[in-house]
Amino acid sequence: MKPSAPKKNLWIVALILGILGIVGHFAHIQYISQYSFELLLGGFVLLALGTTLKGF
C-alpha cells in the first residue's frame, strides 16, 4: 500500500477544520469552542483518508 498526496480541495478543507479546532481550543467562540476536538479530529481523519485512499 503506497500513500498518495491528497487532492488540493481535500487538503484545504482539512486545514481549515484543523485551524478552527485549534482556534476554538484557545479562544472562546461559541460553536467552534464547543466542538474544537471534533473539528481537529475531523481534519486529521480527512488527511489520513486522503493519503490512504487513491483519488479521494
In a domain, 3, yes or no: no
Q: Which whole number is the average pLDDT over 31-40?
A: 95
Is-contact 46 14, C-beta < 8 A? yes
In a domain, 27, yes or no: yes
Q: Based on the structure, what is the number of domains in the chain?
A: 1
DSSP state of 30: H
In a domain, 15, yes or no: yes
| pLDDT for the residue numbered 9 | 94
DSSP state of 55: T
Count how many residues are written for the chain.
Answer: 56
Q: Which residue has better confidence, 19 or 56?
A: 19
Q: What is the CA radius of gyration of the chain?
A: 13
**Alpha-helix residue ranges (DSSP H) falling in 1-56:** 8-26, 30-34, 36-52
Residues spanned by the domain of 48: 8-52
Number of C-beta neighbours around residue 22 at 10 A: 14
In a domain, 47, yes or no: yes
